[in-house]
Structure 1
Amino acid sequence: MKASVNGTVIAEAPQDELIRIEGNWYFPPSSVRRELLEESPTPYTCPWKGPCQYFTVAVDGERLQDRAWTYPELDDGAVQRVGKDFANYVAFWKEVEVTES
């Protein structure tokens, strides 16, 4: 699977290394090109996952606000609910296209 914007790959990993949560694919931290992500100040806390860190995706001069996110510290019960530790895994939405490689 890969996440890309206008042909630039932001993350890529075999599907069996990703985790699907609530319809979103979460990529393992090692598969993400962090140099294309800028921390966003947007606050959000999921009621069962915990505090969220949003990122602006910056590709070829285009800045896509809050199009990526991660949960650095999971709330108690989140790992059990999903069945795997997904701390620091990164998900994408809107203009970031997630497709099979």
Structure 2
Amino acid sequence: MPDHALLLVSSMLVVVMAHLSCADGAVGTGKSKISAVFMFGDSIVDPGNNNNRLTEARANFPPYGQDFPGGKATGRFSNGRVPGDMLGCLLQLK
């Protein structure tokens, strides 16, 4: 069963990457046709925005956010960018 799941995920990744590579040259021209990025994965793509969930794990208090303007905690476990943020900048999304 795990082999089938790996094959399915790999196939989906190939299809998505092929679709993104055929974006009519929109990447980098300021005329991006892509309006959002959905990232699936583990903690490397999860900034930890869970302020609206019933959970013990929170990041809306110091020292989280100490590197942001004003030092205000935003609820993110990461003070830096996660891969989804970098991809959004590359695709020139808001």
Per residue, is there more strand in 1 or in 2? Answer: 1
> TM-score under structure 1 normalisation?
0.28
The structure number with the bigger radius of gyration is: 2
Per residue, is there more helix in 1 or in 2? Answer: 2
